[in-house]
Amino acid sequence: MDVLTLSRLQFAITSMFHFIFVPLTLGLSVLVAMMETRYVLSGNEMYKRMAKFWGKLFLINFALGVVTGITMEFQFGMNWAEYSRYVGDIFGAPLAIEATVAFFMESVFIGVWAFGWDKVGRRFHAVSIWLVALATNLSGLWILLANGWMQHPVGYVLRNGRAEMVDFMALITNPFGLLKFGHQIVSGYTVAGFFVMGISAYHLLKARNREFFKASFGMAAVFALAASIMVAVIGDFHAADVAKTQPAKFAAMEAVWNSCSNAPMHLIAFPDEKNECNLVSALPVPGLLSFLAFHDTNAQIRGITSFPKDERPPVLPVFLSFRLMVGLGTLFILLSAAGLFLSRNGLLEKYPLFLKLLVLCIPLPYIANQLGWLVSEVGRQPWIVYGIMKTSDAVSKSLELSQVIGSLLGFTLLYGLLGFVDIYLLAKFARKGPEETHVGATNAFRN
Amino acid sequence: MDLHIVWFVLWGVLWAVYFMLDGFVLGAGMLHRVLGKTDIDRRVVINSFGPVWDGNEVWLITAGGATFAAFPTTYALMFSYLYTPLLLLLFGLIVRGVSFEFRSKEESAAWRGCWDWAIVLSSFVPALLFGVAFGNIFSGLPMDQAGYHGSLVALLNPYGIVSGLLFVMLFLEHGALYVAVKSTGELSRRAESLARTLWIPLLVVAVAFLGYTNFATKLYDNYLKTPVLLVAPIVAVAALIGVRVLLGKGNTLSAFTASCVTILGVVGTGVIGLFPNLIPSSLDTLYSLTIYNSSSSEYTLRIMTAVAFMFVPVVILYKIWVYRIFRGRVTAEGVAADHEAY
């Protein structure tokens, strides 16, 4: 193993770990804000308790999201110094703007929200969680504009031995980044929707705080259904954009080896990388792939073999991740539609099996989110900036192997430990009902 | 207007404000076990900065982001050359953040004791390493066209260590004063008296640092060339003396304010001395990273300047507003009654 491989592994581990916490933060902040707004508008105390109960889980999750985010910023300089030097002129800007316009707002108002229940007025308090939600989503926008630039570089020239920005507007209107942002945000909402549905289902099975959790479930089901439909719709646009801007990634996603027009979609396929063909490909739907990519059944799809060998992404992981992600996405639409139907008709508790299923489904949107990033980031390889810079040229030159081995071990141990504790606490407070979370002065040390 | 200079000033201001704001959290974190004899006292200390620590830490993220956007070459080389110390610092910041959140989520004394020590250690390590890193930046890193020739051990040179101690002492004093201001009764008195005790070693380290700087760095050159700049170190020293005088009068809030000025002055002194370097080379000035040879393009600097001038004032306004919301002292009764507290 060399510095490059270990740095890549480290980046994969630290970003995927960071990404366990981010999607829930994106969605749960909005859900909690909606709950608190209902409280402010109706004066119904149950919605206040809802905001507090789900807010507690939000805070436990939020803490790890924030601290693991710092790692991401540091790592660009630490492990990817050549990258930072080469593209910093254009890539640094969205990161700095994210800190200034989004991260400050998020971190300041989360303090107001968590500690300000008795210090600011009701309305202001609700506004503060909306500001947190807005800032969290705005953070996502800037980060995905930065990532979108790596995927589809725009608004730059190569000059003075580096990429220099010449068009800021192009950077912030980059369709790749905006589509990715749209797709990611609603994926985060799906995670939050299933998180709240799953935990509510758990309590409904135990028949505790039924009104409270039925109301939570109802809100989450609407949220999850709307979000998961949006995921599919924006995802479709996103994939079509990928077909145009990153044909090698698209070919890997669909395991298309040879260029062809009127390309069929094989419902069952399995790629064989060594022989550059598909081991299995059955149930073709003629022209569907061409249609999905270019909205024209006769459009030409470039195959993997049309790219030089050193410019191809690994096909199998990209293909499998994509298929699995799409499959899960479809499942989310069906499950949340069923959830909404049952909850609207007051039938939830009649179907304990469905409730049990939803508890088990809590991790699935998380997995779908991770798979999406695998498609996106592995599919971009061997490029770090598509078409401009290869990942192998991006790694820091001054690093020694021992340093990266040390940091990788450190991250693995630390993140493993913290992840374990965080999930333990999330589970503990999720299992507790809202009454236990809401402790008064008599329970001085409970928290 | 030379945008390079604008960004150099902003760069210095971001670091200075970060150390002023996170300095008291790091200091209080290091001291919370010493100051808090009981669990509830410790919770008072942690909750004294509970609503604001996260927002304070963002100044660091912004300082990092600003370095990346405005001086990408410096960002790339600084972070990769200082790999191991920055990694340890990062681990410190990660552990500190989750410790605040996790500590009071279980009743057990063993659980809380564990996170208490995690807070102490994860406050001490970043404080020390920031000092070591900045000391080494002040004295220059061994770099030439072939790259970096240093190591972790080389960073722990005597000057780096003195500088690290200075940061630790500054933050300890700052943290003790903050707790004195933000808490009540016995805890507040204990913090105030600890601030008095800590002031003497702080003064000793500060004098040693100022003297050593003359031999280990070229920071004073700018001051000899442009004596009017001496206002920064003079303010720093005057404020440091002010801390003790005001403490003698029992005015802890003014003493804390003076401590804020001390930190701003110390960082300002270092940054002014560096100009126009961001990281001098200790081998040959030809390879120093300056605000000119490591900066972004004029275009990027213009965009970033517009963003900074539009949004930083807004950030400062709402931060001041939030500090006003949470003004006043944190009491044991208040923490015990507030189920949202840490």
DSSP per residue, A41-60: HH--HHHHHHHHHHHHHHHH
| DSSP symbols for B36-74 | -SSHHHHHHHHHHHTTTHHHHHHHHHHHHHHHHHH-HHH
pLDDT for A24-42, tens place per residue? 999 999 999 999 999 999 9
Distance from CA of A368 to the nearest CA of B (A): 26
Closest alpha carbon to B155 in B126, B186, B131, B125: B131
In whole angstroms, give the CA distance from residue A249 to residue A373.
13
For A106, the token pair is 């998020």
Q: Do A251 and A301 contact (CB within 8 A), yes or no?
A: yes
- Taking the C-alpha atoms of residue B164 and residue B162, their distance in angstroms, rounded to an integer, is 5
Beta pairing, strands A162-165 & A277-285:
unpaired
pLDDT at A441 over 60: no
Answer whether B51 sits within 8 Å of A437, measured CB to CB.
Answer: no
Residues whose CB falls within 8 Å of the CB of residue B89, separated by 6 or more in sequence, listed in order:
B125, B126, B129, B130, B133
What's the CA gap between A272 and A316, in Å, rounded? 8
Closest Cα to residue A333, out of A360, A365, A356, A357? A365
Tell me which chain B residue has its CA closest to the CA of residue A81: B76
Contacts of B117 (CB under 8 A, 6+ apart): B33
Torsion of CA B98, B100, B103, B104, to 10 degrees: -130
The residue assigned the tokens 């953070």 is A139
The residue among A92, A135, A340, A90 whose CA lies nearest residue A229 is A340
pLDDT above 60: residue A443: no
Per the model's pLDDT, the better-predicted residue between B236 and A398 turns out to be B236
- Return the H-helix or E-strand segment holding B25: helix B3-35
**Cα four-point dihedral sign A285, A289, A290, A293:** positive
Given an 8 Å threshold on Cβ–Cβ distance, is A397 in contact with B299? no
Beta carbons within 8 Å of A286's beta carbon, 6+ residues apart: A262, A264, A297
The Cα A367–Cα A187 span in angstroms is 11
Question: Is the predicted ipTM greater than 0.95, yes or no?
Answer: no
Phi/psi at A270 (nearest 5 deg)? -150, 120
Q: Is A353 exposed, middle or buried (0-12, 13-18, 19+ CB in 10 A)?
A: exposed
Which long-range contacts does A199-205 make (Cβ < 8 Å, 24+ apart)? A199/A57, A199/A359, A199/A362, A199/A430, A201/A348, A201/A354, A201/A355, A201/A356, A201/A358, A201/A359, A202/A355, A202/A359, A202/A430, A202/A431, A203/A433, A204/A348, A204/A349, A204/A355, A205/A352, A205/A355, A205/A356, A205/A359
SS3 content of chain A, % helix, strand, coil (to 5): 75, 10, 20
State the best of A49, A71, A107, A401 to mutate against chain B, taking most chain B CBs within 10 Å. A107
Residue with tokens 């020739």: B149
Using DSSP's 3-state secondary structure scheme, residue A161 falls into coil
- Nearest chain B residue to A105 by CA distance is B315
Cα separation of A356 and A343, whole Å? Answer: 15
B310: tokens are: 């539009």
Amino acid at position B245, single letter? V
| Closest listed residue to residue A60, CA positions, set A444, A361, A432, A441 | A432
Q: What is the pLDDT of residue A33?
A: 96
pLDDT score for A300: 86
Give the model confidence (pLDDT) of A305-330 as tens digits: 999 989 999 999 999 999 999 999 99
Question: How confident is the model at residue A265, as a pLDDT?
Answer: 86
Q: Please enumerate in sequence order all residues whose Cβ is within 8 A of that of B33, keeping only pairs 6 or more positions apart, or say none.
A: B42, B116, B117, B120
Interacting residues of B91 by C-beta distance below 8 A, sequence separation 6+: A410, A414, B122, B125
What confidence tens digit (pLDDT) does each residue in A363-385 have? 999 999 999 999 999 999 999 99
Residue listed under structure tokens 């942690």: B46
User: What was the pLDDT predicted at A287?
Assistant: 84
pLDDT of B303 higher than 80 = yes
Whether B150 has its CB under 8 Å from any CB of chain A: the answer is no
- What pLDDT, on the 0 to 100 scale, is given for residue A227? 96
Q: Whole-number mean pLDDT of chain B?
A: 93
Asked if the Cβ–Cβ distance from A82 to B76 is below 8 Å, we say: yes
B324: pLDDT strictly greater than 80: yes
Which residues of chain B have a CB within 8 Å of the CB of A85? 72-73, 76-77
Cα gap A225→A220, rounded to integer Å = 8
Q: What part of A 188-247 touches B (C-beta under 8 Å)?
A: none
Q: Going by DSSP bridges, is the β-strand pair A383-385/A300-301 parallel, antiparallel, or unpaired? A: unpaired
The mean pLDDT value for A349-361 works out to 93
Give pLDDT, residue A204: 94
For the cut 60, the answer to whether the pLDDT of residue B270 exceeds it is yes
Which band of pLDDT confidence, cut at 50, 70 and 90, is reported for residue A163? Answer: very high
Contact call for A108 and B319, based on CB within 8 A:
yes
Reported as a single tens digit per residue, the pLDDT across A97-127 is: 999 999 999 999 999 999 988 889 999 999 9
Determine the length of chain A: 447
Taking the C-alpha atoms of residue A234 and residue A211, their distance in angstroms, rounded to an integer, is: 34
In Å, how far are A204, A384, B78, B108, B117 from B33, measured between CA atoms?
43, 46, 34, 17, 8
* Calpha distance A429→A53 (Å, rounded): 8
Surface of A (249-268) touching B: CB under 8 A? none
Closest to A228 measured CA to CA, from A218, A220, A238:
A220
Q: What is the pLDDT of residue B171?
A: 97
Q: Which two tokens stand for residue A377?
A: 């980031």
Angle between helices B231-248 and B185-216 (to 10 degrees): 150
State the pLDDT at residue B284: 87
Share of chain A above pLDDT 90, in %: 76
Pick from B13, B53, B83 the residue to mutate for testing the A interface (most A CBs within 10 Å). Answer: B83
* Residue A12, number of CB atoms within 10 A of its CB: 14
Yes or no, beta carbons of B62 and A74 under 8 Å apart: no
How long is chain B? 342
Amino acid type, A302: R
SS3 A159: strand
DSSP label of B183 = -
Q: Do A444 and B40 touch (CB under 8 A)?
A: yes
Asked which of A13-17, A176-180, B325-329 is least confident by mean pLDDT, the reply is: B325-329
Residues in A 384-413 with any Cβ partner in B closer than 8 A: 396-399, 403, 406-407, 410
**pLDDT score at A276:** 83
Verify cis geometry, omega within 30 degrees of 0, for the bond prior to A284.
no
In angstroms, the CA A445 to CA B130 distance is 35
The alpha helices in A116-165, defined as continuous H runs, are: 122-151
- Is A439's pLDDT higher than 80? no
Compute the nearest-CA separation of B203 from chain A (Å).
33
A–B interface: beta-carbon pairs under 8 A = 248
Q: Would an 8 Å CB–CB cutoff place A420 in contact with chain B? A: no
DSSP letter assigned to residue A208: -
Task: Write out pLDDT tens, residues B134-181.
Answer: 999 999 999 888 888 888 888 899 999 999 999 999 999 999 999 999
Are A166 and B325 a contacting pair at CB < 8 A? no
CB contact under 8 A, A96 and B304: yes
**What span, in angstroms and rounded, lies between the C-alpha atoms of B43 and B105?**
12
> Cβ of A107 under 8 Å from any chain B Cβ?
yes
Q: For chain A, say whether B292 makes contact (Cβ under 8 Å).
A: no
Distance CA A324, CA A356 (A): 22
Q: Is A169 on the interface with B (CB under 8 A)?
A: no
Q: What is the pLDDT of residue A436?
A: 55
Window from A19-28, A144-153, A192-201, A203-212 with minimum mean pLDDT: A203-212
pTM: 0.92
Q: CA-CA distances (angstroms) from residue A17 to A196, A413, B83, B236?
A: 21, 12, 21, 42
Residue A445 in this model has a pLDDT that exceeds 80: no
B94-147 pLDDT tens trace: 999 999 999 988 888 899 999 999 999 999 999 999 999 999 999 999 988 888
Mutate: best of A54, A59, A74, A437, partner B, most B CBs <10 A: A74
Would you state the pLDDT for residue B337?
Answer: 82
pLDDT score recorded for residue B334? 86
**Which of A311, A297, A170 lies closest to A247 in space, CA to CA?**
A311
Task: Specify whether the backbone of B142 is left (phi greater than 0), alpha (psi in -120 to 50) or beta.
Answer: beta
- Which residues of B, range 166-195, sit inside 8 Å of A by Cβ? none
What 3-state class would DSSP assign to A285?
Answer: strand
**Vertex A401: Cα angle to A397 and A404 (nearest 5):** 90
